[in-house]
Amino acid sequence: MTLNSSLPKQLPSDLDVQRLPKHVAVIMDGNGRWAKQRGLPRIVGHRRGVDTLKSLLRCCKDWGVQALTAYAFSTENWGRPLDEVEFLMMLFERVLRRELQEMIDEGVQIHFVGDLEALPLTLQTEIQRAMTATKDNHTIKFIVATNYGGRREIIQACRNIASKVQHNQINLDDIDESLFERHLYTAGIIDPDLLIRTSGEMRVSNFLLWQMAYAELYVTKTLWPDFDRDEFHQALKDFQDRHRRFGKVN
């Protein structure tokens, strides 16, 4: 994969830089259907999905979005056929190894969120290497949710907080939203303001349950491998036309 530097880098003129989402999250769905429509094995769809993600990251960076979170593998995805799961783990590892230098050069700060200890050890090594190598980068935050489940994240936060109470490190009264957030995988990362799901499914599938409280939702029927700059442009335009009230009145 090479960077497509011929694409326009400026924000399209009908988008307002002041009203861009700061953090976009994507549920990259539809790889399997994309492949099936072409009579190809599902893994071909996953491979194409990586290209889409790379283009989207590039686009976010060009247009000034500060953070992009991508749902790569859910805690429920272990229930897929073993060969597909193994392929995905191998794909994550290979892509990370292949793309790391470019991410360093481009100023991308990469994070992984999820129950990472359950991942293959060789993948964990690549993840640690990538996070360490990019930790001082500032151009864009790129967060990959791998073996991620919103419920598991919340339970893990509860356990850590309960343990601190038990050991008298904090009091019950110290537990508030801000303390809770600091115990999530996403500690220190602002909540997404726009969530995009491809392939038409109207559900969140255990993604960022806490963080999504006030995200604007955008669902497109386009399958993930076909989600391009024009589609993203459309999603941003839609976002800019929304009136976010946060429970208040005008």
Query: Binding string, 204-223, against ligand IPE, x = CB under 6 A?
Result: -x------------------
Site for Mg ion contains 29 (CB under 5 A): yes
Site for ligand IPE contains 147 (CB under 6 A): no
Bridge partners, 25 (sequence order): 69, 195
CA distance 131 to 129: 6
Q: Which one-letter amino acid corresponds to residue 140?
A: I
Q: What angle separates helix 229-240 from helix 42-63, to the nearest 10 degrees?
A: 50
Are 210 and 231 in contact by the 8 Å Cβ rule? The answer is no
The region of 25-33, 115-123, 165-173, 229-237 touching ligand IPE under the rule CB under 6 A is 25-33
29: annotated active-site residue: yes
The least distance separating ligand IPE from the CB of residue 191, rounded to whole angstroms, comes to 19
The least distance separating ligand IPE from the CB of residue 36, rounded to whole angstroms, comes to 7
Query: Pick from 32, 114, 149, 225: which binds ligand IPE (CB under 6 A)?
Result: 32
| 4 marked as part of a ligand binding site | no
193: annotated active-site residue: no
The two tokens of residue 179 are 């303390």
Q: Where are the beta strands (DSSP E) in the chain?
A: 23-27, 67-74, 108-113, 140-148, 194-197, 216-219
Nearest to 191 by CA among 205, 177, 211: 211
The residue among 20 and 70 lying less far from ligand IPE, judged by its C-beta, is 70
**Residues within the interface to Mg ion (CB under 5 A):** 29
Binding site for substrate: residue ranges? Answer: 30-34, 42, 46, 74-76, 78, 80, 197, 203-205
